[in-house]
Amino acid sequence: MKAPKNKYQISLFLYAYLRQIDLSLDRSRWGGQQGLKKYFSTHLAPEKVVKYLCSHFKIKPEKLLTWEHPEMKQYQVKDLTTIFSLRTGSPDVEITYAIQLLHAFEKLLNSNPTEYSTNHEKLRVDICKFNYDFLEKQLKKKDFHKVMLIEHCFQHSHAKHVELSEFWEPLNA
């Protein structure tokens, strides 16, 4: 299977991955932070997704650290979907924001927190707003139902789930 070339395949994978992070962060409230860290050490790490996105969209990693889009300064986070809809055809803003969310999650995983904090919840809410208010609207109905079953940290052992590799096999290699 080749890496996705079209925007829909990338959006579908990104939605599935961000949903996995959302559900995992939510479950880590009760399952512990070490379990969350262990889960992502054995599954697809955010850093690997960031590297692919930077490579595929030709975004220089050094620009991510200082990135401040003029349009972003004018809006609250709740209005991100407005910004993204104004820029259809150019994924720069969307992808850069997704990369920033993934960087924040990677930083959280590496910070060794002992318990769930407001920083965890703020990141989870930011991921949810981007994922459910923006990316979800791009999905086909059949894909949406499948991605709702995405595997995640501390999932019920008998529940039916779909592995992330079903959305994009090469990234799990």
State the pTM of this model.
Answer: 0.80
**Given 3-state DSSP classes, what are the helix, strand and coil percentages for the chain, each rounded to the nearest 5?**
70, 0, 30
Q: pLDDT of 59-75, one tens digit each? A: 776 655 444 445 444 44
Instruction: DSSP for 96-128, please give it.
Output: HHHHHHHHHHHHHHHT--SS--HHHHHHHHHHH
Degrees to nearest 5, angle at CA 145 with 11 and 54 = 15
Contact assessment for residue 21 and residue 123, using Cβ atoms and an 8 Å cutoff:
no
Paired tokens of 95 = 């992808």
Q: pLDDT of 19-61, one tens digit each? A: 999 999 988 888 778 888 888 889 999 999 988 888 887 877 6
137/80 Cα distance (integer angstroms): 13
Task: For the chain, give every domain's residue range.
Answer: 7-172
